A = this chain, B = another copy of it.
Amino acid sequence: MKQPEPPGSGQEPSRTPDITPLLNVLRALYPVSPAVESYLREHISIATVRKRKMLLKEGTHCEHIYFIVKGAIRGFVREGQRDITTWITVENQLVSSIFGLHQRSPAVENIQALENIQALENCDLLAMTLDDLQVMYERLPESNILARKLLEIYYADAEKRAYIARLTKAENKYRSFLLHHDPLSNRIPLKYIASYLGMTLETLSRVRKKFSSKL
């Protein structure tokens, strides 16, 4: 991944990250105070990452939270030799190590150590270190209101993913997927969608054919 620009490396407007897409997402939830907006502008860097590159490899620590301006990213874990896609996300979403956000006492075998994050397309990202995020929470208490509202959404989404993963019938899984992730169905390579839904590529293709013939 391209390193974020060092601070003060350029004053021309093109060097300054345009954080408008992030501000739009935040403002839809709650007013962004001038202090929070300034803090974000000062501590956010631009990062680009090429298709198929890893943002996080298992066994390493995630140091950043990312906002996707353009592109698609997946999370995955391994079970033996198998690679299981645990989430797929696109523009206007935040991405980080879910476990990195909350540093609990390390378990002997913890899931954090299994997490992988990979770009599925060339991505333009806004990046902030998790350290800077913590400082923002402490210095600007109103930022906790925004974070609380974001976490409510991401928590409900995680629960929806758990729900889809627990369904047993391939058709029900794909129907739920379309309901919550319709724009992904013709954008993301099918092998990742199949892995996310816990079915083979053949089963997914069969179900998709069935669904499209119903239209």
Chain A interface residues (CB < 8 Å from chain B)? 77, 79-80, 82, 84, 86, 98-99, 101-102, 104, 107-109, 111, 114, 137, 141-142, 144-145, 147-149, 151-156, 158-163, 165-169, 172, 176, 179, 198
Contacts and interface: CB of A to CB of B under 8 A. Distances in A.
A159 B79 contact: no
B151 A155 contact: yes
Contacts of A142: 141
A132 B86 CA distance: 35
A79 to B, nearest CB: 6
A168 B109 contact: no
A199 to B, nearest CB: 11
Contacts of A104: 153, 156
20 contacts: A77-B166, A79-B166, A79-B169, A80-B169, A84-B166, A84-B167, A98-B156, A98-B159, A99-B156, A101-B155, A101-B156, A102-B149, A111-B176, A141-B141, A141-B144, A151-B151, A161-B162, A162-B165, A165-B165, A168-B198
A109 B179 contact: yes
A82 B77 CA distance: 28
A170 B107 CA distance: 21
B101 A159 contact: no
B101 A168 contact: no
